[in-house]
Amino acid sequence: MAYNLMSHRILEPLSKLANLMRLDLSFQKTPYTFNFDFLLFKSLERLDLSGNSVSVVGTGSENLTHLHLSSCNITEFPMYIKDLQRLWWLDISNNRIKGKVPELLWNLPSMAYVNISHNSFDSLEGTPKVILNSSISDLDLSSNAFKGSFPIIPPYVHIMAASYNYFTGGIPLTFCKRYKLSLLDLSNNNFSGSIPRCLTNVSLGLQALKLSNNNLTGRLPDIEDRLVLLDVGHNQISGKLPRSLVNCTSLKFLNVEGNRIDDTFPFWLKALPRLELIVLRSNRFHGPISSPDEISLSFSALRIIDISRNSFNGSLPQNYFSNWSVPLVNTPQGYRWPQYTGDEHSKYETPLWSYPSIHLRIKGRSMELEKIPDTYTAIDFSRNSFEGQIPESIGFLKSLIVLDLSNNSFTGHIPSSLAKLKQLESLDLSQNRIAGSIPQELRDLTFLGYVNMSHNRLTGQIPQSTQIGGQPKSSFEGNINLCGLPLQERCFKGNGAPSTPQTQETELPKEENVLNWKAAAIGSGPGVLFGLAIGQALARYKPIIFAFITHIVTFNCQIHKA
């Protein structure tokens, strides 16, 4: 009965169902507050009131195994759970509870899953070993106000999430003595020191390690072959990428951005058959990203690569992208409900710490993607020292959504093959040395929402389409002699000749005013959209019409003189 409009009065008739075992009233769109006091559900095993305003909960059932009270506007810890000796699953996330986590929580004999994330807890009641002897296997402390050293966790913890807190000190070596620790998320804390080598031992069984946004130093330890997700972004890690990564045949996500890693491009990562995301952004990587012995570079599963803000250089062979990866080359087949990298770790509703999260520059803005759709594709080579022409083979990447080649030294012309990227939504070629005209075929990119070609050496007419014409003027500023919308510079004078910057501020010809007025008149009849379409068509062929009129006038004058 979740996601309905039921009143709180539904509780009274439901409470008379003596054999009711499961009750899900989550996310009722009602202003009422649910009060479960004095309601007896003797046989109830699972109760979900998430997403409602809840005052008191007293189920009267000692058989309760699952209790979901997420997003219930609760301000105090539900102390009544001390009597629920069979409770196995507790979710009180996204509430307003603060202070200490009561010691009674860890004394429940059957407790396995605890989610107290997104509250204001600041400490644990009892000693640092208060959790050690509990039966907890999945524990989420994320997004609270915990501080100080990290508590000692039970030996059989399978999932440990504690991101967005204020924990300090080194990463505890006690993690290395856990059995089958599958996911460890300590990101966005104040941990310091180096990453313990034992964390990446195959015997630990770690599949996802998230340590981003801390103060970790030293080198990355050798990585064993079970790891699926590695995120150590925004620390102070130095040295080189460990070559042992090539043994991680299950690795899908690698993020080392915002560190001090000094290395060349990791060509050897192409051997990883499942690698989907590579983020090397803001480090000290250098050298070419193509080698003489392999003209094209093939990653079998790659969807996103961000190598921006490094010191990569050299040129790219013309067929560089011709054999890149199946997800980038294949044309998407229709629409499907989005799934996300990380779904394979799901239990019931998948928590965010199961997913990789990255910062990408999309449509001119830096954005954090907490959940990455598995159809999302992006290439960011910006802020390096690449030169030469952009390869025509870029047109092979038919599934590409974001392309950023800005702030380099690319020369030559814009490849017309970009028009083949029918899924492209964001294109940034700004701050290069690209010359020539913009391919008119780009006006056919109907999904293109962001374009930036500013500060190059481009000339001629900007392709006229709704997508391109709707961009700000800044997207095309700083070029030699571009004209057409969204710039103010007109591409043709009254005699049909191309305009120059000196003639761009002249008054519009009367013929143009007449044509624009006629387009507006047409729009007021059968419809504004139709009129705009006619106006756009007239505007597109306006130079030809004006040239034809000029020719007729000249011809008549010659006859008159004769």
pLDDT (tens digit, 9 = 90+) per residue, 405-452?
Answer: 999 999 999 999 999 999 999 999 999 999 999 999 999 999 999 999
Answer for the pair 387, 409: CB distance below 8 angstroms, yes or no.
Answer: yes
Please, which contacts does 432-440 make with residues 24 or more away whose CB atoms are closer than 8 Å?
432/405, 432/406, 432/407, 432/408, 432/456, 433/409, 433/457, 434/390, 434/410, 434/458, 435/411, 435/459, 435/480, 436/412, 436/460, 437/413, 437/461, 438/414, 438/462, 438/463, 438/482, 439/414, 439/415, 439/463
- Confirm if 410 and 433 have CB atoms less than 8 A apart: yes
Taking residues 176-202, what's their average pLDDT? Answer: 89
Q: What is the pLDDT of residues 205-258, one digit of tens each?
A: 888 999 999 999 999 999 877 889 999 999 999 999 999 999 999 999 999 999
Q: What pLDDT was estimated at residue 491?
A: 84
pLDDT of residue 296: 62
Q: Model confidence over 22-35: pLDDT tens digits?
A: 888 888 766 667 66
CA distance 168 to 215: 10
Mapped to the 3 state alphabet, what secondary structure does 96-152 carry? CCEEEECCHHHHCCCCCEEECCCCEEEEECCCCCCCCCCCCCEEECCCCCCEECCCC
- Give the closest residue to 354 by CA, choosing from 543, 189, 551, 140: 140
CA torsion 198-199-202-205 (nearest 10°) is 140
Which tokens go with 170? 């080194």
Residue 177 is predicted with a pLDDT of 82
Q: Are 255 and 231 in contact (CB under 8 A)?
A: yes
| Percentages (nearest 5) of helix, strand, coil residues in the chain | 20, 20, 55
Tokens describing residue 345 = 């770790």
Q: Is the pLDDT of residue 532 over 70?
A: no
What's residue 127's pLDDT?
87
Beta strand 358-362 with 365-369 is antiparallel
Look at the block and give the residue holding tokens 């009270």.
69
CA distances from 458 to 50, 278, 412, 444 (A): 57, 32, 10, 20
Q: What is the pLDDT of residue 200?
A: 80
Q: Average pLDDT of the chain?
A: 81
Claim: this prediction has a pTM higher than 0.75? yes
Output the pLDDT for position 513.
36
Residues 6+ apart with CB under 8 A from 174: 152, 153
Mean predicted confidence (pLDDT) in 66-92: 92
State the pLDDT at residue 370. 75
Rg, the chain, Cα only: 31
**Do residues 369 and 358 touch, judged by C-beta distance below 8 A?**
yes
Residue type, 446: T
**Per-residue confidence band for 170, with pLDDT thresholds at 50, 70 and 90:** very high
359: Cα separation from own chain's centroid: 7
Please state whether beta strands 260-261 and 286-287 pair in parallel, antiparallel, or not at all (unpaired).
Answer: unpaired
User: Distance (Å, rounded) from C-alpha 471 to C-alpha 449?
Assistant: 8
To the nearest 10 degrees (0 to 180), the angle between helices 542-561 and 510-524 is 130
Q: Is the pLDDT of residue 554 over 50?
A: no
- Asked if 174 and 150 touch (Cβ cutoff 8 Å), the reply is no
> How many residues can be counted in the chain?
562
Determine the Cα–Cα distance for residues 45 and 47; give it in Å rounded to an integer: 7
- Nearest 5 degrees, angle CA 136-CA 137-CA 143? 85
